[in-house]
């Protein structure tokens, strides 16, 4: 028997991972892909380190009697049931920045390969054919590249392609033009990017808003010489539309590392000579794997020592008062709602905390707010340590405001931001009852009382009869069920706000129908999943 914490390594990780853990732990190994081996092995361990083959689901978590940490040596968390882990009080950590250089380099490699026809030329030569004239290519030098999503990986790609002598433009509604200019990048809208770009590289997170963002309509606006690269997430580029565009010569070529459904071994795209494709290799370098292993090993050490864990994606470690802890997930949701309502990143962001909770250190709520604000803005995993950096990168000044007085609620958390045009956006929430139920109680000065469920919508319009029924009718026709609804107005006959929680995401065409039917001055849908 040993008093040392037990760490189970369920997949092959770099030797540096074990070295980073150090001598303070008992290290065990198992084949995590074998359920019959995993379930008994996880029963009495304090932490488990996995890559992508081990599924840490509800069954595995139930079998883990004393598990405190699940560490994923990589970025994605598809094989970890974060919700079940959170309910079990188990921290989940990953390595959000471990692969950014590898991913950026692969995007550049795909671009070069597509530009120079490397894949078909290679295949022809191996087949005994010398087709030097057929596979003539194009240079990157003095061409325009459009970066769709100027987060960390997008910026690294922009920097590398600038060194090729390329003119860099970018589309990212959450980056301010001044900040982009400091990076040597000109911000444009998506239509302009499509019209101007000779090359295009996608670096957006996969969200309901970005799914299918590059479809037939967008590709129709591109140059016929466009080379498109997607090494971000599958599904952002509509694969059927891309196939048609490549097949008909609407665009010239594509480099793909990601697909809507993976693993993907049978796609019409693979039949085309003007497509170079790889099986999601963005993070598949020795360096990225070593960085990931070292990063999660450090997080495990912090977590088991009871310290703050910057890369935790759910339960945050460190000394946080019990009265403050329930406010963390609420504040993160408020941050997500703020971004959804604002539609852009604020220049000034205030996180206001009022009430009894201010007797404690509430700095973690500022971090939670920033984590929520940027969760759908960047392609990186947002954590408590990189969220302030993301704010600084985007020119957002952040301030924590506390006040022991809270006239209407025992505790109240408000996120208030000033946008580029000087307008303000605010959202407020509180916790009610002995079960500390989350409530959204204010949006842009309108008093409401609604649960912040996975799918929300906010419509502002001129107050007049019949509008609520119209909204309900259109949603009903679209088979979207309303779970909760609140109507608030500033004055009789003035501006009114409808706040909705619904059971499923509202399709874009349905939102457009509602906007037209009620002549909405503002219409926003927010998906928290």
In tens, the pLDDT along 121-177 reads 999 999 999 999 999 999 999 999 999 999 889 999 999 999 999 999 999 988 878
> Per-domain residue ranges for the chain?
1-95+283-318, 100-277, 320-444, 454-529
DSSP 141: T
- Cis amide leading into 124 (omega within 30): no
Tell me how crowded residue 494 is: count the other CB atoms within 10 A of its CB: 9
pLDDT value at 268 more than 90: yes
**Confidence check: pLDDT of 206 > 50:** yes
Asked if the domains at 1-95+283-318 and 100-277 fall in one CATH topology, the answer is yes
Q: How many CB atoms lie within 10 A of CB 402?
A: 17
Domain 1-95+283-318 sits in CATH at: 3.40.50.720
Residue 381 has pLDDT above 70, yes or no: no
State the Cα–Cα distance between residues 456 and 526, nearest whole angstrom.
5
Contacts of the segment 461-465: beta carbons below 8 A, 24+ positions apart: 461/495, 461/496, 461/498, 461/518, 461/519, 461/520, 461/521, 462/493, 462/494, 462/495, 462/496, 462/519, 462/521, 463/489, 463/491, 463/492, 463/493, 463/494, 463/495, 463/496, 464/493
Q: Residue 317 — very low, low, confident or very high, per pLDDT cuts 50/70/90? A: low
| CATH code reported for the domain at 454-529 | 3.30.70.260
Say what the pLDDT of residue 61 is.
Answer: 95
| pLDDT higher than threshold 70 for residue 1 | no
Q: Which residue has the tokens 């405190």?
A: 68
Mean pLDDT for 24-40 is: 95
Say yes or no to pLDDT of 37 above 90: yes
What amino acid positions are annotated as catalytic residues? 233, 262, 280
Contact partners, residue 209, CB within 8 Å, separation at least 6: 376
- Of 286, 282, 233, 276, give the one whose Cα is nearest residue 256: 276
Shortest CA distance to 527 belongs to which of 339, 272, 247? Answer: 339
Mean pLDDT of 308-323: 71
User: Where do runs of H (alpha helix) occur along 321-412?
Assistant: 327-342, 363-374, 387-393
CATH class of this structure's domain 100-277: alpha beta
Predicted TM-score of the model (pTM):
0.70
Confidence label for 385 from pLDDT (cuts 50, 70 and 90): low
Residue 434 to residue 76: CA distance in whole angstroms: 35
Chain segment 479-511, per-residue pLDDT in tens:
999 999 999 988 887 899 999 999 999 999 999
pLDDT tens digits, one per residue of 459-485: 999 999 999 999 999 999 999 999 999
199-202 and 144-148 strand pairing:
parallel
Q: Closest by alpha carbon to 113, among 184, 194, 197, 201?
A: 201
Predicted confidence (pLDDT) per residue in 69-114, tens digit: 999 998 878 899 988 887 787 889 999 888 999 999 999 999 999 9
Predicted confidence at residue 491, as pLDDT, reads: 82
Asked if residue 308 has pLDDT above 80, the reply is no
**Quick one: 320-444 is in which CATH superfamily?**
D-3-phosphoglycerate dehydrogenase; domain 3 (3.30.1330.90)
- Which of 53, 87, 47 has its CA nearest to residue 71? 47
The answer to whether the CB of 92 falls within 8 A of the CB of 312 is yes
pLDDT tens digits along 367-378: 889 989 998 888
Q: Does residue 316 surpass a pLDDT of 70?
A: no
Q: Which pLDDT value is given to residue 318?
A: 58
Q: How confident is the model at residue 319 (pLDDT cuts 50, 70, 90)?
A: low
**SS3 (DSSP) at 467:** helix
What mean pLDDT comes out for the span 276-280?
A: 97
Beta-strand relationship, 424-432 and 69-72:
unpaired
Strand ranges for 205-347 from DSSP E = 227-230, 253-256, 275-277
């Amino acid at each position: 028997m040993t008093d040392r914490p037990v760490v189970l390594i369920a997949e092959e990780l770099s030797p540096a991972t074990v070295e980073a853990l150090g001598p303070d732990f008992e290290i065990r190994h198992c084949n995590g892909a074998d359920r019959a081996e995993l379930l008994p092995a996880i029963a009495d361990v304090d932490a488990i380190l996995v890559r992508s083959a081990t599924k840490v689901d509800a069954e595995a978590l139930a079998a883990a009697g004393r598990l405190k940490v699940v560490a994923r040596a990589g970025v994605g968390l598809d094989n970890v049931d974060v919700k079940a882990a959170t309910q079990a009080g188990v921290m989940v950590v990953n390595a959000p920045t471990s692969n950014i250089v590898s991913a950026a380099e692969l995007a550049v490699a795909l671009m070069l390969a597509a530009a120079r026809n490397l894949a078909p030329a290679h295949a022809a030569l191996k087949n005994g054919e010398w087709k030097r004239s057929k596979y003539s290519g194009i240079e990157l030098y003095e061409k325009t590249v459009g970066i769709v999503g100027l987060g960390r990986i997008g910026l690294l790609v922009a920097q590398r392609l600038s060194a090729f002598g390329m003119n860099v433009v970018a589309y990212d509604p959450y980056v301010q033009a001044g900040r982009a200019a400091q990076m040597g990048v000109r911000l444009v809208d998506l239509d302009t990017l499509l019209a101007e770009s000779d090359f295009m590289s996608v670096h957006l997170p996969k969200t309901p808003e970005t799914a299918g963002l590059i479809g037939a309509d967008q590709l129709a606006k591109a140059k016929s010489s466009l080379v498109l690269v997607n090494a971000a997430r599958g599904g952002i580029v509509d694969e059927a539309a891309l196939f048609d565009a490549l097949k008909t010569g609407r665009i010239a070529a594509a480099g793909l590392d990601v697909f809507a459904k993976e693993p993907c071994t049978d796609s019409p795209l693979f039949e085309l000579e003007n497509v170079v494709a790889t099986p999601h290799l963005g993070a598949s370098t020795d360096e990225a794997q070593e960085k990931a292993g070292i990063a999660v090993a450090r997080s495990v050490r912090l977590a088991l020592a009871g310290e703050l864990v910057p890369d935790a994606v759910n339960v945050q470690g460190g000394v946080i008062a019990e009265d403050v802890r329930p406010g963390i997930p609420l504040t993160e949701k408020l941050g997500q709602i703020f971004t959804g309502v604002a539609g852009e990143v604020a220049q000034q962001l205030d996180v206001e905390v009022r009430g009894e909770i201010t007797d404690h250190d509430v700095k973690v709520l500022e971090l939670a707010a920033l984590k929520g604000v940027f969760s759908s803005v960047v392609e990186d995993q947002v954590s408590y340590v990189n969220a302030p950096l993301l704010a600084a990168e985007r020119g957002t000044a952040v301030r924590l405001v506390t006040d022991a007085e809270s006239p209407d609620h025992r505790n109240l958390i408000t996120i208030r931001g000033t946008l580029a045009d000087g307008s303000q956006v605010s959202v407020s929430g509180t916790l009610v009852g002995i079960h500390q139920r989350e409530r959204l109680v204010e949006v842009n000065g309108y008093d409401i009382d609604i649960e912040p469920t996975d799918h929300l919508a906010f419509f502002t319009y001129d107050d007049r009869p019949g509008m609520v029924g119209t909204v309900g009718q259109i949603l009903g026709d679209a088979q979207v069920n309303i779970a909760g609804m609140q109507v608030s107005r500033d004055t009789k006959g003035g501006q009114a706000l409808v706040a909705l929680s619904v059971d499923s995401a509202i399709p874009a065409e349905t939102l457009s129908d509602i906007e037209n039917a009620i002549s909405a001055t503002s219409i926003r849908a927010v998906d928290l999943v």
